[in-house]
Structure 1
Amino acid sequence: MTAVTARPAPAPLPPQTQGWPQPQTARLFRDSPLLLDGGQAVTDLRVAYHTYGTPQEHAVLVLHALTGTSALHEWWPDFLGEGRPFDPARDFIVCANVLGGCAGSSGPAELPQLNGEDAPLTLPDLARVGRALLEQLGVRRVTVVGASMGGMLAYAWLLECPDLVDRAVIVGAPARHSPWAIGLNTAARSAIRAAPGGEGLKVARQLAMLSYRSPESFARTQPGWGARRPGVPAITTYLEHQGEKLASRFCERSYLALTAAMDRFQPGDAELRGIRVPVLVVGISSDVLYPASEVGAYAALLPRGQYRELESVHGHDAFLIDSQALPEWVDGFLHP
């Protein structure tokens, strides 16, 4: 692993004013089925995706987090646009909603069941569907960028599609889930199963939000009582609001399927040492979900890995809300 010293954050870039593209939908595996790792054969899968820039044989594939969508311009605006890491004037950028998601792609309800339960999905399953999309778009080589679940999925791409990936950026993600991360997901899934119909999903989101920030972040952003509702702690109303928001837009079956897929992904150290392409791995100093020491330890296994650490009090979600020099680091790695 090559350690890289952090540089000061660059001056903020001006807001992007260009119009962004509309989502598109691909139909994949219509002529021949995809065999999932669980043994089920699936056909005619729907994948929702966005593209930015002019189609090329090389693409930058951006992989979203657990509850994300293909609308990259909505959730990572600091990275997309003129003069940014993903510049449509220079790059062909693809972002797709994953198989099992609920933002336009085929979800668990549309897949074959196993013993009366939703078919188990794996991150390699998701990567194979993504590869089929790229092939349909005429892409022959790809740079993969992902954060959080997207970062774990980037590891799956590196292992599943070594002939296709030329480099990767992994932000705030381990190569495999620790007992701590699996435990958090287990509690979230238990909440959903105990209270189906949306109430459990709200609780699952509250649990997740506690792991996405840090104690200092909440001390700064949610102090005191009664600011939103008299007599109620600010953190309580904040978590209730986050639960309501997710329940209004996300599917509990997708939450169950995708968190389980993350937990199942357990590549060995020998597999990681076999990854031969350059990989930039970024940890977050205050991340309690995926501690920086854990993220850095996986980077150290990669023969051509580079590690950087984002200093932020805002925990795991810093890659979204406090990116600082992260866009500059990613741009420098993708376009040396």
Structure 2
Amino acid sequence: MTASLTRPSFDYDYSESPMVQEAAVRSQVSFAHVKLFRAGPLLLDCGLAVNDIQVNYHTYGRPAEEAVLVLHALTGDSAVHAWWPDFLGVGRPLDPSREFIICGNVLGGCNGSSGPEDLPPGATLSLRDMARAGRALLEHLGVRRVKIVGCSMGGMLAYAWLLENPDMVDRAVIVAAPARHSPWAVGLNTAARNAIALAPGGEGLKVARQIAILSYRSPESLAQKQPHRASGEQPVVGYLQHHGEKLAARFSEESYLAITQAMDAFQPSARELASIRVPVLGIGISSDLLYTAREVRDSVTTLPFGEYWELHSPHGHDAFLMDPGHLPGVVQEFWEASN
């Protein structure tokens, strides 16, 4: 495989967070994109082959053959400093002064990586395709071994990584994600995709985001953050409208459709999961309505070397972002157990 590297003309403002600014000063921080599969194609699970796949990625720290791979959520991107500041920085689980940290925008995404519109007509994507494209990025960067941490959709993608690239993974942390979607999760994604189909051009995507936001929170969380008013428009109405408009301004309908379909279709067998032979820590969230704590626990404890820890928070699925509590310390302890 050969690759060509170009750097975009913009960068992020690391001054927004003092912690990230400290990490940037003390380590190398890079944002770039790369064209992969130029000499030979990536064969997708749908049977079609693709060349010249672009992947946008961030790295934090000095290049090394061993790294930490971060896998982002459904509408996330490679800028870990922007969406997970509680984890990134000196003395934290993602410490650029100690380790080489990589996060790539997934194949099929819309943050600079090749999206659905860049694929051959009729092509569909799988999480396994994304894992194989991710391996090509690591090979381009000279990485041989990784520890993985994946959140939400990234947690499901971590399972795909463990199945597709077992020779590269030392251990994995899977945050708020099961090994496969339940009928509840498939139903929510189906409703979101139907909204997009009925109102293309951005309006359907706004509704899809509102459906998703409700599944990312809990009733208690919304009661705390968007309390009921005796009269007038309820705060939750404006809250949902804001999040719908915000996503429609930055995300692609095609990517939302392609990635949620890939998640729904990822259904590894019990035999496949039993083949995973590395330590895996699954993190459930007590109030998660999208991926219940029981689902997360049942998935990880079926693995030969799986263990489970539960984050207690009222804030639902997004608690790993909103209310991480002891989570960074638990992940740090799990990382250090491998040393």
TM-score tier after normalising by the smaller chain length:
over 0.9
The aligned counterpart of 2:205 is: 201
Measure how far apart 1:94 and its partner are. 0.2
8 Å contact kept, 2:92–2:328 = yes
Question: For each residue in 1:14-55, what CA deviation from the matched residue of structure 2 results, as whole angstroms up to 9, or x when unmatched?
Answer: 834336434200110011111100111100010000001111
Q: d(CA) in 2 for partners of 1:15 and 1:30?
A: 38
Within 5 Å, give how 1:52-201 maps onto structure 2: 52-114=60-122, 119-201=123-205
Q: d(CA) in 1 for partners of 2:201 and 2:180?
A: 30
Q: d(CA) in 1 for partners of 2:301 and 2:62?
A: 36
Gap change, CA 1:255 and 1:77, over 3 Å in 2 = same
- SS of aligned partner of 2:150: strand
The aligned counterpart of 2:22 is: 18
Query: Within the alignment, does 1:268 sit opposite 2:274 as a pair?
Result: no
8 Å contact kept, 2:30–2:60 = no
Measure how far apart 1:231 and its partner are. 2.0
Q: d(CA) in 1 for partners of 2:136 and 2:35?
A: 10
Query: Within the alignment, does 1:303 sit opposite 2:293 as a pair?
Result: no
Measure how far apart 1:270 and its partner are. 1.5
One of 49, 57, 74 as aligned partner of 1:41:
49
What RMSD in Å do the two structures reach over aligned CA positions? 1.4
Question: For each residue in 1:286-324, what CA deviation from the matched residue of structure 2 results, as whole angstroms up to 9, or x when unmatched?
Answer: 000000011101111011111000000000000111001
Residue ranges of structure 2 left out of the alignment (5+ in a row): 1-17
Q: Equivalent pairs: percent with the same residue?
A: 66
* Count of residues in correspondence between the two structures: 317
Measure how far apart 1:224 and its partner are. 2.2
Identify which of structures 1 and 2 has the higher relative contact order when contacts are C-alpha pairs closer than 8 Å and 6+ apart.
1
The aligned counterpart of 2:335 is: 334
Q: d(CA) in 2 for partners of 1:205 and 1:309?
A: 26
- Under a length normalisation based on structure 2, what TM-score does the superposition of the two structures give? 0.91
Question: For each residue in 1:54-99, what CA deviation from the matched residue of structure 2 results, as whole angstroms up to 9, or x when unmatched?
Answer: 1111110000000001001110011111000011111000000000
8 Å contact kept, 2:147–2:172 = yes
Measure how far apart 1:335 and its partner are. 1.6
- Under a length normalisation based on structure 1, what TM-score does the superposition of the two structures give? 0.92
Question: For each residue in 1:76-131, what CA deviation from the matched residue of structure 2 results, as whole angstroms up to 9, or x when unmatched?
Answer: 011111000011111000000000000110011111111xxxx2100000000000
8 Å contact kept, 2:19–2:89 = no
8 Å contact kept, 2:41–2:49 = yes
8 Å contact kept, 2:20–2:81 = no
Within 5 Å, give how 1:286-297 maps onto structure 2: 286-297=287-298
1:47 is matched by which residue type in structure 2?
V
Q: d(CA) in 1 for partners of 2:92 and 2:284?
A: 21
Q: d(CA) in 2 for partners of 1:49 and 1:111?
A: 20
Within 5 Å, give how 1:202-217 maps onto structure 2: 202-217=206-221
